[in-house]
Amino acid sequence: MNRSNVARLLVSCRDREGIVASLSSALRDAGANIITSDQFSSDPYGGRFSLRMEFYVPDPDQRLAELEQRLAEIGAELELDYRLVDARRRKRVALFVSRYDHCLLDLLWRWRRRELEMDVVAVVSNHPDLRDEVARFGVPYHHIPVSKETKPDAEQAQIDLLAGEVELVVMARYMQILSDDFLRRIRCPVINIHHSFLPAFAGAGPYQRAYHRGVKLIGATAHYATEDLDEGPIIEQDVIRVTHRDGAAALERIGADVERLVLARAVSWHLQDRVLLQGHRTIVF
């Protein structure tokens, strides 16, 4: 068996009896060998059920098609929301950025050293600043300026460029709010990174305000962008300790470190199909 023939099955549904038994039988019949399986039920009575199975499958070109057919039957019977993913195929990704380069460069650098299972098909920016930097990685750079007046046109240009072409958009410190209309029309998940403090500082100048408030931790949150921009389902969070010696500029540098670590983890997990949604929460397997 070719050990690169990995596939994944992701399932979300209302919890009920027999789901695992049915799916396990289907996989066994397809000759699959399960590597990792995770389930989580928010509540077996009326709650939501999430499952991720990663497995080797022999002769995937034929077997995955057959398995897809079988899953369609089971899915209809058990009312499953499921996806079968051929892990040999890398996801196509667009990276959005404004001027801060730390998240973008960290993702590109991890991508080049094969830490991230993706094809970066485009970098989109509302500024021209990072063009040369991105060129070194051999990735097309699309400068699409955005002003209050041109925002609808700019988003239309982004949609024309990307909709149907990418399976993930990563906002690697893209300092524009994507409209609800964009989020609907791009037809793929969008991951965003956001500073997070205890207590939280929404709005402008967060590091300056965190400094004046004397926080002892600087954090970051990676989440899926939804219509309520900073309130989408959380994928990952982390913090770094700071002290009174760290001025607003130091807090911002430390924030950049935690932002790029947290975003890289979130993107990596998403690419491995390890993040499932249960309502407003993520299940990270």
Query: 32 or 170: whose CB is closer to a second copy?
Result: 32
Minimum distance, C-beta of residue 239 to a second copy, in the bound complex (Å): 6
Chain positions contacting a second copy, by CB under 8 A? 1, 3, 15, 17-18, 20-21, 24-25, 27-28, 31-41, 44-45, 56, 101-102, 105, 109, 113, 115, 136, 196-200, 211-217, 219, 221, 230-231, 233-239, 241, 243-245, 253, 257, 261, 278-284
Query: 93 or 266: whose CB is closer to a second copy?
Result: 266
**Under 8 Å between Cβ of 70 and 98:** no
Query: Are β-strands 190-197 and 217-224 bridged in parallel, bridged antiparallel, or unpaired?
Result: antiparallel
Query: 163 or 177: whose CB is closer to a second copy?
Result: 177
Minimum distance, C-beta of residue 156 to a second copy, in the bound complex (Å): 32
Minimum distance, C-beta of residue 173 to a second copy, in the bound complex (Å): 13
The residue type found at 134 is V
Minimum distance, C-beta of residue 151 to a second copy, in the bound complex (Å): 26
| 3-state secondary structure at position 197 | strand
Non-local CB neighbours of 255 within 8 Å, separated by 6+ positions: 195, 207, 218, 220
| Full DSSP string of 122-186 | EEEESSSTTHHHHHTTT--EEE----TTTHHHHHHHHHHHHTTT-SEEEESS--SPPPHHHHHHT
The one catalytic residue in 38, 86, 230, 238 is: 230
Query: 86 or 157: whose CB is closer to a second copy?
Result: 86
230 is catalytic: yes
| Full DSSP string of 74-138 | HHHHHT-EEEEEETTSPEEEEEEE-S--HHHHHHHHHHHTT-S-EEEEEEEESSSTTHHHHHTTT
Query: 168 or 262: whose CB is closer to a second copy?
Result: 262
Minimum distance, C-beta of residue 108 to a second copy, in the bound complex (Å): 11
CA distance 109 to 68: 35
Active site amino acids: 230
